[in-house]
Amino acid sequence: MEHLREVFEKSLDLSATIIEGAEHTQTLLTNENYDESVRLMNDVMTGYSSVQSALEQIDPEQIDLFPVLEQGKQVEASIEHIVTAFEEETYGKANEILQFTLIPRLKKWQHEMNTLFGPLVTEH
């Protein structure tokens, strides 16, 4: 269980960083700093992917991560739309997706993690 606690703590910490990165990406897009926004969005995607893949490795008989993994699928769909917008250089659309879809979905993903992991992380 100690290994799971460590995975959960790191996932929660990284989720906050991922959200900060997504919010800063939105700021960069608003300021028309497109190259830097693409680079930062790549970091957001890498961080998200790391957390999600670590969680997918956990045996569902140890803990049911279904709500977190399902919300993760919504995050992935949003990321795919942003990638498409970047590829098409429709940065206004990417900004809207960040503001109205990705960031709220990331926050819900984090909330699901807090709901499941919070009690496990704080019990020592």
What's the CA gap between 92 and 102, in Å, rounded?
Answer: 14
pTM for the structure as a whole:
0.94
CATH class name, domain 2-122: mainly alpha
Domain parsing of the chain, residue ranges = 2-122
Query: Distances from the Cα of 4 to the Cαs of 45, 48, 52, 80, 119, in angstroms?
Result: 23, 18, 14, 29, 12
* pLDDT tens digit at each of 124 positions of the chain: 688 889 999 999 999 999 999 999 999 999 999 999 999 999 999 999 999 999 999 998 888 999 999 999 999 999 999 999 999 999 999 999 999 999 999 999 999 999 999 888 876 5
**What is the amino acid identity at position 84?**
T
